[in-house]
Amino acid sequence: MSLNTTLRRALPSSRSAYLLALLLGLGLVASPVATPEAHAAVSLGTVSSAARVAAAQVGVPYRYGGTSPSTGFDCSGLTLYAYGRAGKRLPRTAQQQYAASTRISARSARPGDLVFFHNGGTVYHVAVYAGSGWIWHAPKPGKRVAKVRLWTTAVTYGRVR
């Protein structure tokens, strides 16, 4: 006998539908990345290549809207460029890149995955994970692309699909 049939017999229909939805929702919250495909979204070669490209940009100046080492990078321009050179197309902004990636745990993050900084539901910064708690990022005007230690745990990790 299915769970749905058991619930329908035990509860009035509106309550069983509510309880079933609640149970399914809890399952998604408890395991948001439940499929192996989410962890293998792009090849390890692509992710590694993106990480190498990002690392090679250290010292390039920050430029708002920048997407090139010759003119400078903003945060999402750096990730766009790194993945583009690795053969994978990303959307332009940090928020769009967040929407186009699959959430992964900090433990599953590997060099080349994306690290998203957010305030509530708004993503305001993105970086390329370098491994062991370090990132490559284009921080802000007046600064240059750098490898820095993550300064907060309030980030979300994403794997490019």
Catalytic positions, written as ranges: 75, 125, 137
User: Any bridge partners for residue 149, and if so which?
Assistant: 134
For 11, the token pair is 């509860």
Q: Quick one: tokens of 78?
A: 């750096």
CB of 87 closer than 8 Å to CB of 98:
no
> Rounded CA gap, 126 and 156, in Å?
10
Q: Which amino acid is at 157?
A: Y
How far apart CA 14 and CA 9 sit, in angstroms, is 12
* Phi, psi (rounded to 5 degrees) for 84: -60, -45
* Cα gap 18→23, rounded to integer Å: 9
**Measured distance CA(92)–CA(35) in Å, rounded:** 27
